[in-house]
Structure 1
Protein backbone atom coordinates (compact mmCIF):
# COMPACT_ATOMS: atom_id res chain seq x y z
CA UNK A 1 0.00 0.00 0.00
CA UNK A 2 1.31 3.41 -1.00
CA UNK A 3 1.39 5.70 2.03
CA UNK A 4 1.56 8.88 -0.02
CA UNK A 5 0.55 12.22 1.43
CA UNK A 6 -1.79 12.75 -1.55
CA UNK A 7 -5.22 11.19 -1.58
CA UNK A 8 -5.10 11.11 -5.40
CA UNK A 9 -2.09 8.80 -5.33
CA UNK A 10 -3.62 6.51 -2.71
CA UNK A 11 -6.77 6.18 -4.80
CA UNK A 12 -4.89 5.76 -8.07
CA UNK A 13 -2.95 2.80 -6.70
CA UNK A 14 -6.19 0.93 -5.85
CA UNK A 15 -8.69 2.36 -8.33
CA UNK A 16 -8.69 -0.50 -10.85
CA UNK A 17 -9.60 -2.99 -8.10
CA UNK A 18 -12.41 -0.96 -6.53
CA UNK A 19 -16.05 -1.94 -6.90
CA UNK A 20 -18.39 0.39 -8.79
CA UNK A 21 -19.71 1.86 -5.51
CA UNK A 22 -16.22 2.45 -4.15
CA UNK A 23 -15.16 4.07 -7.44
CA UNK A 24 -18.10 6.48 -7.13
CA UNK A 25 -17.02 7.29 -3.59
CA UNK A 26 -13.37 7.69 -4.63
CA UNK A 27 -14.31 9.99 -7.53
CA UNK A 28 -16.26 12.19 -5.14
CA UNK A 29 -13.43 12.36 -2.61
CA UNK A 30 -10.87 13.38 -5.24
CA UNK A 31 -13.16 16.02 -6.73
CA UNK A 32 -14.33 17.40 -3.37
CA UNK A 33 -11.36 17.22 -1.02
CA UNK A 34 -12.26 20.55 0.55
CA UNK A 35 -15.70 19.25 1.54
CA UNK A 36 -14.26 15.98 2.87
CA UNK A 37 -11.72 17.95 4.92
CA UNK A 38 -14.23 20.41 6.36
CA UNK A 39 -17.48 18.49 6.75
CA UNK A 40 -18.63 15.53 8.81
CA UNK A 41 -19.07 12.04 7.43
CA UNK A 42 -22.85 12.46 7.60
CA UNK A 43 -22.71 15.77 5.66
CA UNK A 44 -20.38 14.35 3.00
CA UNK A 45 -22.68 11.36 2.63
CA UNK A 46 -25.72 13.58 2.16
CA UNK A 47 -23.96 15.77 -0.41
CA UNK A 48 -22.47 12.90 -2.39
CA UNK A 49 -25.25 10.36 -2.24
CA UNK A 50 -22.71 7.81 -1.03
CA UNK A 51 -23.59 5.99 2.18
CA UNK A 52 -21.45 6.50 5.30
CA UNK A 53 -20.68 2.77 5.27
CA UNK A 54 -19.32 2.97 1.73
CA UNK A 55 -17.16 6.00 2.55
CA UNK A 56 -15.78 4.23 5.60
CA UNK A 57 -15.14 1.09 3.55
CA UNK A 58 -13.28 3.18 0.98
CA UNK A 59 -11.05 4.59 3.72
CA UNK A 60 -10.16 1.10 4.96
CA UNK A 61 -9.55 -0.14 1.41
CA UNK A 62 -7.09 2.72 0.90
CA UNK A 63 -5.15 1.69 3.98
CA UNK A 64 -6.59 4.09 6.56
CA UNK A 65 -7.65 2.79 9.95
CA UNK A 66 -10.77 4.98 9.95
CA UNK A 67 -12.64 7.49 7.79
CA UNK A 68 -11.33 10.24 10.07
CA UNK A 69 -7.77 9.32 9.10
CA UNK A 70 -8.67 9.79 5.42
CA UNK A 71 -10.36 13.06 6.28
CA UNK A 72 -7.25 14.20 8.12
CA UNK A 73 -5.11 13.56 5.04
CA UNK A 74 -7.47 15.69 2.96
CA UNK A 75 -7.43 18.38 5.65
CA UNK A 76 -3.64 18.47 5.70
CA UNK A 77 -3.45 18.72 1.91
CA UNK A 78 -6.06 21.46 1.76
CA UNK A 79 -4.64 23.50 4.60
CA UNK A 80 -1.82 24.98 2.61
CA UNK A 81 -3.73 25.21 -0.65
CA UNK A 82 -7.13 26.62 0.25
CA UNK A 83 -6.25 30.11 -0.95
CA UNK A 84 -4.74 28.78 -4.16
CA UNK A 85 -7.96 26.91 -4.97
CA UNK A 86 -10.03 30.00 -4.20
CA UNK A 87 -7.83 32.24 -6.29
CA UNK A 88 -7.90 29.75 -9.12
CA UNK A 89 -11.67 29.47 -9.01
CA UNK A 90 -12.06 33.24 -9.14
CA UNK A 91 -9.53 33.57 -11.94
CA UNK A 92 -11.16 30.92 -14.13
CA UNK A 93 -14.63 32.40 -13.64
CA UNK A 94 -13.56 35.64 -15.27
CA UNK A 95 -14.70 36.22 -18.82
CA UNK A 96 -13.99 38.72 -21.53
CA UNK A 97 -16.61 41.15 -20.28
CA UNK A 98 -14.71 41.43 -17.00
CA UNK A 99 -11.42 42.07 -18.76
CA UNK A 100 -9.76 38.65 -18.65
CA UNK A 101 -8.12 37.74 -21.96
CA UNK A 102 -7.65 34.19 -23.17
CA UNK A 103 -3.96 34.61 -22.41
CA UNK A 104 -4.67 35.62 -18.81
CA UNK A 105 -7.04 32.73 -18.24
CA UNK A 106 -4.74 30.13 -19.81
CA UNK A 107 -1.57 31.41 -18.17
CA UNK A 108 -3.35 31.60 -14.81
CA UNK A 109 -4.39 27.95 -15.09
CA UNK A 110 -0.85 26.93 -16.08
CA UNK A 111 0.68 28.83 -13.17
CA UNK A 112 -1.73 27.12 -10.79
CA UNK A 113 -0.93 23.69 -12.28
CA UNK A 114 2.82 24.19 -11.89
CA UNK A 115 2.48 25.56 -8.36
CA UNK A 116 0.26 22.65 -7.34
CA UNK A 117 2.73 20.16 -8.81
CA UNK A 118 5.63 21.74 -6.93
CA UNK A 119 3.72 21.67 -3.64
CA UNK A 120 2.24 18.19 -3.85
CA UNK A 121 4.56 15.93 -5.85
CA UNK A 122 5.82 12.97 -3.85
CA UNK A 123 9.54 13.76 -3.77
CA UNK A 124 10.55 10.29 -2.63
CA UNK A 125 8.61 8.80 -5.54
CA UNK A 126 10.25 11.28 -7.93
CA UNK A 127 13.72 10.32 -6.67
CA UNK A 128 12.90 6.62 -7.03
CA UNK A 129 11.58 7.08 -10.57
CA UNK A 130 14.70 8.98 -11.60
CA UNK A 131 16.81 6.23 -10.00
CA UNK A 132 14.97 3.68 -12.17
CA UNK A 133 15.66 5.72 -15.31
CA UNK A 134 19.32 6.19 -14.39
CA UNK A 135 19.86 2.49 -13.70
CA UNK A 136 17.93 1.14 -16.70
CA UNK A 137 19.84 -0.63 -19.45
CA UNK A 138 17.44 0.91 -21.96
CA UNK A 139 14.69 3.52 -21.57
CA UNK A 140 11.74 3.57 -23.99
CA UNK A 141 9.50 6.64 -24.21
CA UNK A 142 5.96 6.57 -25.55
CA UNK A 143 3.21 9.11 -26.00
CA UNK A 144 0.20 8.98 -28.32
CA UNK A 145 -2.39 11.50 -29.47
CA UNK A 146 -1.66 14.87 -27.84
CA UNK A 147 1.19 13.34 -25.81
CA UNK A 148 3.21 12.36 -28.91
CA UNK A 149 5.19 15.58 -29.20
CA UNK A 150 5.75 15.77 -25.44
CA UNK A 151 7.42 12.35 -25.40
CA UNK A 152 9.47 13.31 -28.45
CA UNK A 153 10.71 16.44 -26.67
CA UNK A 154 11.88 14.40 -23.68
CA UNK A 155 13.69 11.98 -26.00
CA UNK A 156 15.39 14.94 -27.68
CA UNK A 157 16.69 16.22 -24.34
CA UNK A 158 17.78 12.77 -23.16
CA UNK A 159 19.73 12.03 -26.32
CA UNK A 160 21.97 15.00 -25.58
CA UNK A 161 23.58 13.20 -22.65
CA UNK A 162 22.87 9.47 -23.03
CA UNK A 163 22.60 6.88 -25.80
CA UNK A 164 20.18 4.32 -24.37
CA UNK A 165 16.88 6.22 -24.71
CA UNK A 166 14.56 5.49 -27.65
CA UNK A 167 11.21 6.83 -28.78
CA UNK A 168 8.66 4.11 -29.53
CA UNK A 169 6.12 4.09 -32.33
CA UNK A 170 7.44 7.03 -34.35
CA UNK A 171 8.48 7.48 -38.00
CA UNK A 172 7.16 4.10 -39.05
CA UNK A 173 8.69 2.23 -36.13
CA UNK A 174 6.57 -0.53 -34.64
CA UNK A 175 5.47 -0.04 -31.04
CA UNK A 176 5.47 -3.80 -30.59
CA UNK A 177 9.07 -4.01 -31.77
CA UNK A 178 10.13 -1.32 -29.31
CA UNK A 179 8.50 -3.19 -26.43
CA UNK A 180 9.50 -6.72 -27.43
CA UNK A 181 12.98 -6.66 -25.89
CA UNK A 182 12.05 -5.00 -22.59
CA UNK A 183 12.77 -6.92 -19.40
CA UNK A 184 13.57 -6.24 -15.75
CA UNK A 185 16.69 -4.32 -16.73
CA UNK A 186 14.75 -1.71 -18.71
CA UNK A 187 12.27 1.11 -18.18
CA UNK A 188 9.28 2.51 -20.05
CA UNK A 189 8.01 6.06 -19.53
CA UNK A 190 4.49 6.68 -20.82
CA UNK A 191 2.73 10.04 -21.10
CA UNK A 192 -1.04 9.82 -21.52
CA UNK A 193 -3.94 12.14 -20.78
CA UNK A 194 -7.68 12.09 -21.27
CA UNK A 195 -9.03 10.34 -23.34
CA UNK A 196 -6.10 7.91 -22.77
CA UNK A 197 -4.83 6.36 -25.98
CA UNK A 198 -5.37 2.60 -25.96
CA UNK A 199 -1.82 2.05 -27.24
CA UNK A 200 -0.43 3.89 -24.22
CA UNK A 201 -2.39 1.65 -21.86
CA UNK A 202 -1.30 -1.50 -23.68
CA UNK A 203 2.32 -0.31 -23.72
CA UNK A 204 2.31 0.11 -19.93
CA UNK A 205 0.66 -3.27 -19.49
CA UNK A 206 3.16 -5.05 -21.74
CA UNK A 207 6.18 -3.39 -20.18
CA UNK A 208 5.08 -4.20 -16.64
CA UNK A 209 4.33 -7.82 -17.64
CA UNK A 210 7.88 -8.06 -18.99
CA UNK A 211 9.25 -6.88 -15.64
CA UNK A 212 10.36 -3.43 -16.79
CA UNK A 213 10.09 -0.41 -14.52
CA UNK A 214 7.04 1.49 -15.81
CA UNK A 215 6.60 5.22 -15.22
CA UNK A 216 3.23 6.77 -16.06
CA UNK A 217 2.61 10.52 -16.29
CA UNK A 218 -1.12 11.25 -16.49
CA UNK A 219 -3.86 13.62 -15.36
CA UNK A 220 -6.31 11.60 -13.25
CA UNK A 221 -6.60 8.73 -10.82
CA UNK A 222 -8.99 7.12 -13.32
CA UNK A 223 -6.31 6.57 -15.98
CA UNK A 224 -6.32 2.81 -16.83
CA UNK A 225 -2.53 2.76 -17.31
CA UNK A 226 -1.97 3.49 -13.61
CA UNK A 227 -2.69 -0.11 -12.62
CA UNK A 228 0.44 -1.13 -14.54
CA UNK A 229 2.72 1.62 -13.19
CA UNK A 230 5.78 1.05 -11.03
CA UNK A 231 5.82 4.82 -10.49
CA UNK A 232 2.81 7.02 -11.22
CA UNK A 233 2.47 10.79 -11.32
CA UNK A 234 -0.93 12.48 -11.51
CA UNK A 235 0.01 15.88 -12.90
CA UNK A 236 -2.33 18.90 -12.64
CA UNK A 237 -3.60 19.63 -16.17
CA UNK A 238 -6.45 22.09 -15.67
CA UNK A 239 -7.28 24.48 -18.49
CA UNK A 240 -10.12 26.91 -19.21
CA UNK A 241 -9.92 25.79 -22.83
CA UNK A 242 -11.16 22.58 -24.48
CA UNK A 243 -7.81 20.80 -24.05
CA UNK A 244 -5.69 19.65 -21.14
CA UNK A 245 -2.65 21.74 -20.27
CA UNK A 246 0.78 20.13 -20.52
CA UNK A 247 2.62 22.98 -18.77
CA UNK A 248 3.10 21.15 -15.46
CA UNK A 249 3.89 17.90 -17.27
CA UNK A 250 6.72 19.64 -19.10
CA UNK A 251 8.04 20.98 -15.80
CA UNK A 252 8.04 17.47 -14.33
CA UNK A 253 9.76 15.97 -17.38
CA UNK A 254 12.39 18.71 -17.50
CA UNK A 255 12.98 18.21 -13.78
CA UNK A 256 13.59 14.49 -14.34
CA UNK A 257 16.07 15.30 -17.12
CA UNK A 258 17.89 17.81 -14.91
CA UNK A 259 18.11 15.29 -12.07
CA UNK A 260 19.52 12.67 -14.45
CA UNK A 261 22.17 15.06 -15.79
CA UNK A 262 23.15 16.04 -12.24
CA UNK A 263 23.64 12.38 -11.33
CA UNK A 264 25.56 11.55 -14.50
CA UNK A 265 28.47 13.83 -13.65
CA UNK A 266 31.21 14.79 -16.06
CA UNK A 267 30.43 12.07 -18.60
CA UNK A 268 27.05 13.64 -19.34
CA UNK A 269 28.54 17.11 -19.53
CA UNK A 270 31.20 15.91 -21.97
CA UNK A 271 28.62 14.21 -24.21
CA UNK A 272 26.49 17.38 -24.25
CA UNK A 273 29.56 19.37 -25.32
CA UNK A 274 30.34 16.79 -28.03
CA UNK A 275 26.76 16.83 -29.37
CA UNK A 276 26.73 20.63 -29.46
CA UNK A 277 30.06 20.70 -31.31
CA UNK A 278 28.82 18.24 -33.95
CA UNK A 279 25.57 20.12 -34.36
CA UNK A 280 27.53 23.28 -35.06
CA UNK A 281 29.70 21.51 -37.63
CA UNK A 282 26.56 20.18 -39.31
CA UNK A 283 25.08 23.66 -39.44
CA UNK A 284 22.21 22.74 -37.13
CA UNK A 285 22.55 26.01 -35.19
CA UNK A 286 22.26 29.48 -36.62
CA UNK A 287 25.46 31.54 -36.67
CA UNK A 288 26.00 33.76 -33.63
CA UNK A 289 27.17 37.32 -34.21
Structure 2
Protein backbone atom coordinates (compact mmCIF):
# COMPACT_ATOMS: atom_id res chain seq x y z
CA UNK A 1 0.00 0.00 0.00
CA UNK A 2 1.42 3.38 -1.03
CA UNK A 3 2.06 5.87 1.76
CA UNK A 4 2.38 9.64 1.42
CA UNK A 5 4.63 11.92 3.40
CA UNK A 6 2.83 14.71 5.23
CA UNK A 7 2.91 18.06 3.43
CA UNK A 8 5.25 20.86 4.44
CA UNK A 9 3.14 23.23 6.53
CA UNK A 10 3.94 26.48 4.71
CA UNK A 11 3.51 24.78 1.33
CA UNK A 12 0.15 23.36 2.38
CA UNK A 13 -1.01 26.77 3.61
CA UNK A 14 0.05 28.48 0.38
CA UNK A 15 -1.68 25.85 -1.74
CA UNK A 16 -4.99 25.98 0.16
CA UNK A 17 -5.08 29.60 1.35
CA UNK A 18 -7.44 30.95 -1.31
CA UNK A 19 -10.06 28.33 -0.43
CA UNK A 20 -10.01 28.92 3.33
CA UNK A 21 -12.67 30.85 5.21
CA UNK A 22 -11.71 34.10 6.95
CA UNK A 23 -11.48 32.33 10.31
CA UNK A 24 -9.29 29.55 8.96
CA UNK A 25 -7.05 32.12 7.28
CA UNK A 26 -6.45 33.77 10.66
CA UNK A 27 -5.53 30.37 12.09
CA UNK A 28 -3.31 29.61 9.08
CA UNK A 29 -1.52 32.96 9.43
CA UNK A 30 -0.86 32.21 13.09
CA UNK A 31 0.54 28.77 12.29
CA UNK A 32 2.79 30.12 9.54
CA UNK A 33 4.30 32.76 11.83
CA UNK A 34 4.41 30.76 15.06
CA UNK A 35 5.59 27.27 14.17
CA UNK A 36 7.55 26.94 17.42
CA UNK A 37 4.36 27.64 19.39
CA UNK A 38 2.48 25.04 17.36
CA UNK A 39 5.20 22.46 18.01
CA UNK A 40 5.48 23.06 21.75
CA UNK A 41 2.18 24.36 23.14
CA UNK A 42 -1.18 22.67 23.62
CA UNK A 43 -4.05 23.30 21.22
CA UNK A 44 -5.90 25.14 23.98
CA UNK A 45 -2.96 27.50 24.50
CA UNK A 46 -2.58 28.14 20.78
CA UNK A 47 -6.31 28.83 20.45
CA UNK A 48 -6.23 31.25 23.38
CA UNK A 49 -3.19 33.11 22.06
CA UNK A 50 -4.57 33.46 18.53
CA UNK A 51 -8.22 34.09 19.36
CA UNK A 52 -9.36 31.22 17.14
CA UNK A 53 -11.30 28.26 18.55
CA UNK A 54 -9.70 24.80 18.89
CA UNK A 55 -12.36 23.41 16.56
CA UNK A 56 -11.23 25.83 13.85
CA UNK A 57 -7.66 24.56 14.12
CA UNK A 58 -8.92 21.00 13.74
CA UNK A 59 -10.83 22.01 10.60
CA UNK A 60 -7.78 23.84 9.28
CA UNK A 61 -5.55 20.80 9.80
CA UNK A 62 -7.89 18.68 7.70
CA UNK A 63 -8.17 21.39 5.03
CA UNK A 64 -4.37 21.40 4.77
CA UNK A 65 -4.23 17.64 4.22
CA UNK A 66 -3.54 16.38 7.77
CA UNK A 67 -5.64 13.74 9.49
CA UNK A 68 -6.10 15.96 12.57
CA UNK A 69 -4.45 18.80 14.49
CA UNK A 70 -2.07 16.44 16.30
CA UNK A 71 -0.70 15.29 12.92
CA UNK A 72 -0.12 18.92 11.96
CA UNK A 73 1.70 19.55 15.24
CA UNK A 74 3.92 16.49 14.71
CA UNK A 75 4.82 17.87 11.28
CA UNK A 76 5.74 21.21 12.87
CA UNK A 77 8.04 19.37 15.29
CA UNK A 78 9.57 17.35 12.47
CA UNK A 79 10.32 20.44 10.41
CA UNK A 80 11.91 22.23 13.35
CA UNK A 81 14.03 19.18 14.22
CA UNK A 82 15.12 18.88 10.58
CA UNK A 83 16.36 22.46 10.66
CA UNK A 84 18.37 21.70 13.80
CA UNK A 85 19.82 18.52 12.26
CA UNK A 86 20.86 20.42 9.15
CA UNK A 87 22.62 22.89 11.44
CA UNK A 88 24.60 20.05 13.08
CA UNK A 89 25.70 18.77 9.68
CA UNK A 90 26.74 22.24 8.57
CA UNK A 91 28.81 22.67 11.76
CA UNK A 92 30.52 19.32 11.23
CA UNK A 93 31.47 20.38 7.70
CA UNK A 94 32.78 23.73 8.98
CA UNK A 95 34.97 21.91 11.52
CA UNK A 96 36.68 20.16 8.63
CA UNK A 97 36.85 23.33 6.54
CA UNK A 98 38.33 25.35 9.42
CA UNK A 99 40.72 22.61 10.58
CA UNK A 100 43.68 24.94 10.17
CA UNK A 101 42.23 27.36 12.77
CA UNK A 102 42.76 26.48 16.47
CA UNK A 103 39.50 25.19 17.95
CA UNK A 104 40.26 25.90 21.61
CA UNK A 105 39.97 29.71 21.53
CA UNK A 106 36.77 29.51 19.47
CA UNK A 107 35.22 26.95 21.81
CA UNK A 108 36.19 28.99 24.88
CA UNK A 109 34.76 32.18 23.38
CA UNK A 110 31.49 30.46 22.53
CA UNK A 111 31.15 28.98 26.04
CA UNK A 112 31.87 32.33 27.67
CA UNK A 113 29.21 33.96 25.50
CA UNK A 114 26.71 31.24 26.44
CA UNK A 115 27.44 31.67 30.14
CA UNK A 116 27.20 35.47 29.94
CA UNK A 117 23.86 34.99 28.23
CA UNK A 118 22.46 33.45 31.41
CA UNK A 119 22.39 36.91 32.97
CA UNK A 120 20.07 38.06 30.19
CA UNK A 121 18.06 34.87 29.74
CA UNK A 122 17.33 33.82 33.33
CA UNK A 123 14.74 35.81 35.25
CA UNK A 124 15.99 36.07 38.85
CA UNK A 125 12.47 36.10 40.27
CA UNK A 126 11.60 32.93 38.36
CA UNK A 127 14.84 31.31 39.52
CA UNK A 128 14.01 32.18 43.15
CA UNK A 129 10.53 30.68 42.70
CA UNK A 130 11.92 27.43 41.30
CA UNK A 131 14.54 27.13 44.05
CA UNK A 132 11.83 27.74 46.66
CA UNK A 133 9.77 24.96 45.07
CA UNK A 134 12.73 22.56 45.09
CA UNK A 135 13.43 23.47 48.70
CA UNK A 136 9.87 22.64 49.76
CA UNK A 137 9.40 19.47 47.68
CA UNK A 138 8.99 16.05 49.27
CA UNK A 139 11.44 14.66 46.71
CA UNK A 140 13.13 15.84 43.53
CA UNK A 141 13.41 13.49 40.57
CA UNK A 142 16.04 14.23 37.91
CA UNK A 143 15.54 12.97 34.36
CA UNK A 144 18.02 13.17 31.50
CA UNK A 145 18.73 10.99 28.49
CA UNK A 146 21.34 10.83 25.75
CA UNK A 147 23.93 13.60 26.29
CA UNK A 148 21.92 15.03 29.19
CA UNK A 149 22.18 11.88 31.33
CA UNK A 150 25.61 12.72 32.74
CA UNK A 151 24.46 16.18 33.77
CA UNK A 152 21.59 14.82 35.84
CA UNK A 153 24.15 12.57 37.57
CA UNK A 154 26.30 15.62 38.32
CA UNK A 155 23.24 17.55 39.56
CA UNK A 156 22.37 14.70 41.93
CA UNK A 157 26.00 14.36 43.06
CA UNK A 158 26.09 18.01 44.13
CA UNK A 159 22.64 17.98 45.74
CA UNK A 160 23.09 14.77 47.70
CA UNK A 161 26.00 16.27 49.62
CA UNK A 162 23.51 18.38 51.56
CA UNK A 163 20.07 16.89 50.82
CA UNK A 164 18.90 13.26 50.59
CA UNK A 165 15.63 13.94 48.71
CA UNK A 166 17.18 13.85 45.24
CA UNK A 167 17.25 10.85 42.90
CA UNK A 168 18.01 10.20 39.24
CA UNK A 169 15.24 8.31 37.47
CA UNK A 170 15.92 5.32 35.26
CA UNK A 171 19.47 4.70 36.49
CA UNK A 172 21.26 2.15 38.67
CA UNK A 173 18.81 -0.67 38.12
CA UNK A 174 15.58 1.30 38.45
CA UNK A 175 13.22 1.96 35.55
CA UNK A 176 11.92 5.37 34.65
CA UNK A 177 8.37 4.13 35.15
CA UNK A 178 8.99 2.78 38.65
CA UNK A 179 10.34 6.15 39.78
CA UNK A 180 7.60 8.23 38.19
CA UNK A 181 4.90 5.95 39.62
CA UNK A 182 5.67 7.38 43.05
CA UNK A 183 5.57 11.10 42.24
CA UNK A 184 2.68 13.40 43.05
CA UNK A 185 1.73 17.00 43.83
CA UNK A 186 4.29 17.26 46.64
CA UNK A 187 7.18 16.39 44.32
CA UNK A 188 9.21 18.13 41.61
CA UNK A 189 10.47 16.48 38.44
CA UNK A 190 13.41 18.30 36.84
CA UNK A 191 14.20 17.39 33.24
CA UNK A 192 17.33 18.29 31.29
CA UNK A 193 16.99 17.85 27.54
CA UNK A 194 18.95 19.29 24.62
CA UNK A 195 18.57 18.70 20.90
CA UNK A 196 18.27 16.01 19.62
CA UNK A 197 15.48 15.55 22.17
CA UNK A 198 14.97 12.11 23.70
CA UNK A 199 11.44 10.68 23.46
CA UNK A 200 11.66 9.39 27.02
CA UNK A 201 12.22 12.91 28.35
CA UNK A 202 9.12 14.22 26.58
CA UNK A 203 7.02 11.28 27.77
CA UNK A 204 8.39 11.63 31.29
CA UNK A 205 7.31 15.29 31.35
CA UNK A 206 3.81 14.26 30.31
CA UNK A 207 3.58 11.51 32.94
CA UNK A 208 4.95 13.74 35.71
CA UNK A 209 2.49 16.51 34.87
CA UNK A 210 -0.33 13.96 34.73
CA UNK A 211 0.58 12.81 38.23
CA UNK A 212 0.34 16.38 39.49
CA UNK A 213 4.07 16.91 40.10
CA UNK A 214 5.73 20.25 39.45
CA UNK A 215 7.71 19.97 36.21
CA UNK A 216 10.87 22.05 35.70
CA UNK A 217 12.70 21.89 32.37
CA UNK A 218 16.24 22.95 31.48
CA UNK A 219 16.56 22.96 27.69
CA UNK A 220 18.12 24.78 24.76
CA UNK A 221 15.10 25.89 22.76
CA UNK A 222 11.39 26.56 22.86
CA UNK A 223 11.08 23.74 20.32
CA UNK A 224 11.50 21.08 23.04
CA UNK A 225 8.11 19.28 22.87
CA UNK A 226 8.07 18.64 26.63
CA UNK A 227 7.67 22.36 27.38
CA UNK A 228 3.92 22.04 27.02
CA UNK A 229 3.94 20.06 30.29
CA UNK A 230 6.37 22.32 32.18
CA UNK A 231 5.37 24.58 35.06
CA UNK A 232 8.73 26.34 34.84
CA UNK A 233 11.49 26.29 32.27
CA UNK A 234 14.90 27.82 31.58
CA UNK A 235 16.45 28.14 28.13
CA UNK A 236 20.25 28.02 27.99
CA UNK A 237 22.34 29.04 25.01
CA UNK A 238 24.36 26.18 23.54
CA UNK A 239 26.23 27.77 20.62
CA UNK A 240 29.54 26.15 19.77
CA UNK A 241 31.93 25.77 16.83
CA UNK A 242 31.67 22.07 17.62
CA UNK A 243 28.96 20.15 15.76
CA UNK A 244 27.14 19.40 19.04
CA UNK A 245 25.59 21.57 21.73
CA UNK A 246 27.66 23.06 24.55
CA UNK A 247 26.49 22.40 28.11
CA UNK A 248 28.68 25.10 29.69
CA UNK A 249 25.78 27.43 30.53
CA UNK A 250 23.70 24.53 31.82
CA UNK A 251 26.49 23.52 34.19
CA UNK A 252 26.63 27.06 35.58
CA UNK A 253 22.86 27.03 36.08
CA UNK A 254 23.01 23.62 37.84
CA UNK A 255 25.76 24.84 40.15
CA UNK A 256 23.86 28.08 40.82
CA UNK A 257 20.67 26.24 41.77
CA UNK A 258 22.48 23.89 44.14
CA UNK A 259 24.38 26.81 45.67
CA UNK A 260 21.12 28.67 46.28
CA UNK A 261 19.67 25.56 47.90
CA UNK A 262 22.66 25.23 50.23
CA UNK A 263 22.19 28.85 51.29
CA UNK A 264 18.53 28.18 52.10
CA UNK A 265 19.31 24.96 53.98
CA UNK A 266 21.39 26.75 56.62
CA UNK A 267 23.16 24.81 59.37
CA UNK A 268 21.33 21.62 58.43
CA UNK A 269 23.28 21.52 55.18
CA UNK A 270 26.55 21.94 57.09
CA UNK A 271 25.76 18.94 59.27
CA UNK A 272 24.73 16.81 56.27
CA UNK A 273 27.89 17.71 54.31
CA UNK A 274 30.04 16.85 57.32
CA UNK A 275 28.24 13.50 57.71
CA UNK A 276 28.59 12.64 54.02
CA UNK A 277 32.26 13.55 54.08
CA UNK A 278 32.83 11.38 57.15
CA UNK A 279 31.19 8.36 55.53
CA UNK A 280 33.06 8.90 52.27
CA UNK A 281 36.31 8.76 54.19
CA UNK A 282 35.22 5.70 56.19
CA UNK A 283 34.43 3.97 52.90
CA UNK A 284 37.75 5.11 51.45
CA UNK A 285 35.98 6.89 48.55
CA UNK A 286 38.74 9.51 48.20
CA UNK A 287 42.40 9.11 47.38
CA UNK A 288 44.51 10.46 50.25
CA UNK A 289 46.94 13.11 49.03
TM-score by length of 2: 0.68
Q: Distance in 2 between matches of 1:116 and 1:199?
A: 28
The count of residues paired between Structure 1 and Structure 2 equals: 212
Q: Which residue of 1 aligns with 2:156?
A: 155
Map 1:216-255 → 2, pairs under 5 A: 216-255=217-256
Deviation at 1:183, TM superposition (A): 0.7
Query: Is structure 2 residue 10 aligned with structure 1 residue 22?
Result: no
Contact residue 218 and residue 235 of structure 2 kept, 8 A: yes
Residues 137 and 62 (structure 1), Cα distance of their counterparts in 2 relative to 1, 3 Å cut: farther
Q: Distance in 2 between matches of 1:270 and 1:207?
A: 32
Residues 240 and 62 (structure 1), Cα distance of their counterparts in 2 relative to 1, 3 Å cut: farther
Residues 150 and 28 (structure 1), Cα distance of their counterparts in 2 relative to 1, 3 Å cut: closer
Instruction: Extract unaligned runs of 5+ from structure 1.
Output: 1-17, 30-57, 64-91
Q: Distance in 2 between matches of 1:62 and 1:132?
A: 31
Q: Distance in 1 between matches of 2:186 and 2:219?
A: 24
TM-score by length of 1: 0.68
Q: Can you list the C-alpha shifts for 1:7-36, whole angstroms capped at 9, x where unaligned?
A: xxxxxxxxxxx967535424699xxxxxxx
Q: Distance in 2 between matches of 1:25 and 1:228?
A: 22
Q: Which residue of 2 aligns with 1:206?
A: 207
Query: Is structure 2 residue 282 aligned with structure 1 residue 281?
Result: yes
Q: Distance in 2 between matches of 1:96 and 1:235?
A: 27
Deviation at 1:270, TM superposition (A): 0.9
Q: Aligned to 2:215, what secondary structure does the other structure show?
A: strand
Residues 145 and 28 (structure 1), Cα distance of their counterparts in 2 relative to 1, 3 Å cut: closer
Deviation at 1:122, TM superposition (A): 1.0
Q: Which residue of 2 aligns with 1:187?
A: 188
Q: Can you list the C-alpha shifts for 1:182-218, whole angstroms capped at 9, x where unaligned?
A: 1110000000011110100011111111111100000
Q: Distance in 1 between matches of 2:152 and 2:265?
A: 21
Residues 120 and 25 (structure 1), Cα distance of their counterparts in 2 relative to 1, 3 Å cut: same
| Aligned counterpart in structure 1 of residue 49 of structure 2, from 49, 52, 61 | 61
Q: Aligned to 2:190, what secondary structure does the other structure show?
A: strand
Instruction: Extract unaligned runs of 5+ from structure 2.
Output: 1-25, 38-45, 52-93
Q: Distance in 1 between matches of 2:223 and 2:288?
A: 48
Q: Which residue of 2 aligns with 1:167?
A: 168
Contact residue 27 and residue 50 of structure 2 kept, 8 A: no
Larger radius of gyration: 2
Q: Aligned to 1:200, what secondary structure does the other structure show?
A: helix
Q: Aligned to 1:169, what secondary structure does the other structure show?
A: coil
Q: Aligned to 1:232, what secondary structure does the other structure show?
A: strand
CA RMSD of aligned residues (A): 2.6
Q: Which residue of 2 aligns with 1:39?
A: none
